[in-house]
Amino acid sequence: MRKVRKAVFPVAGLGTRFLPATKAIPKEMLPIVDRPLIQYAVDEAREAGIEQMIFVTGRGKSAIEDHFDIAFELERTMTDRGKDISILDATRLGPGNCAYVRQQEPLGLGHAIWCARDIVGDEPFAIFLPDEFMWGSPGCMKQMVDAYERLGGNIISVLEVPREQVSSYGVIAPGAQDGTITEVKGLVEKPKVADAPSNLIVSGRYILQPEVMRVLEAQEKGAGGEIQLTDAMARMIGTQPFNAVTFDGRRFDCGAHLGYVEANIAVALERPALREPLRERMRVMLED
Ligand code: UTP
């Protein structure tokens, strides 16, 4: 079985739900406490043994490239002043560990992934949607890679949501279940509640075989007039093994206001220096 060595991070979306914050700053650079969303996703990839990070960017996204580069002036000035720069270690991605490709028009997630086809080449690869913030240990992708090493094929992460929420997401038609693994028999993007095959939604992490690129190449627009990754994956079911892992951890939809605020509180509550003062302030605020 071929190892998952590469990850694609589609970060070319417009982030309209977070305007005006995202007018000049990429959504993926919004911080959860003190680390940007994209940093958590890259750390999760590294933990899962992934070596090369491929970012699909667009106009106005250069802050992401700067974030993973060496900040020479900053590091030099801090060192001269005797300050510890180890906090920056995780932000450096060397030339062998990262690649950037442009999606010239935001034609949809499926199209963004397809833009990375030449760098991905003919090997299985992971996909991370950085605004789906997956918080757990081991991380979501590590749990998926462990499943992949047993099952091969294609693996997606799923989670259960209340049925009335399914219309905002990709939804799976589940087959046989074994612990955290569910066979995927079908996939549908943003179904009506009445038509949804389950309440298990696709949650922003994927391990896919390279054949998906050929399916995307020929693909027409789907829900919302966008080229949908879900539709391409649906066409691969039956030709290759397709399974879902229910993530053992917490997920926050940081593409929406409530999930973003909640993620900040959840992470802050796990920081020893913040936990008690934050609980105290929240107690006071909630009493008002
Ligand atoms: P979203 O559906 O969250 O869209 O994309 P968005 O543009 O980022 O945000 P809103 O809805 O306007 O607020 C899911 C992921 O797919 C990427 C986004 O960057 C995000 O990581 N994406 C989406 C692309 O890279 N290109 C696209 O054409 C669409």
Q: Which residues lie closer than 8 Å to 58 by C-beta, 6 or more apart?
A: 11, 12, 13, 102, 103, 104, 106
**Rounded distance from Cα 28 to ligand 1 centre (Å):** 10
Phi, psi of 170 (to 5 degrees): -80, 135
- Nearest ligand 1 atom to alpha carbon 10: 25
Residue 271 has pLDDT above 80, yes or no: yes
Q: With a 6 A CB cut-off, is 129 part of the ligand 1 pocket?
A: yes
Per-residue pLDDT, 106: 87
Compute the average pLDDT of residues 160-178: 93
Tell me if 201 CB under 6 Å of ligand 1: no
CA of 56 to the centre of ligand 1 (A): 11
Distance CA 263, CA 261 (A): 5
pLDDT at 47 (0 to 100): 97
**170 pairs with which residues across the strands?**
189
Q: How far is the CA of 13 from the centre of ligand 1 (A)?
A: 4
Q: Averaged over 267-285, what is the pLDDT?
A: 96
Residue 130 Cα to ligand 1 midpoint, Å, equals 10
| CB 12 less than 6 A from any atom of ligand 1 | yes
E strand or H helix at 172, and its extent? strand 170-178
Can you give the length of the chain in residues?
288
For 21, 36, 61, 98, 127, the CA distances from 25, given in Å and listed in that order, are 7, 11, 7, 21, 22
> What are the pLDDT digits (tens) for 199-249?
999 999 999 999 999 999 887 777 777 788 988 999 999 999 999 999 999
What pLDDT, on the 0 to 100 scale, is given for residue 157?
A: 97
- Report the amino acid identity of residue 30: L
Share of the chain above pLDDT 70, in %: 100
Please indicate, yes or no, whether the overall pTM of this predicted structure exceeds 0.85. Answer: yes
Asked whether residue 26 carries a pLDDT value surpassing 90, the answer given is yes
Domains of the chain: 6-287 (3.90.550.10)
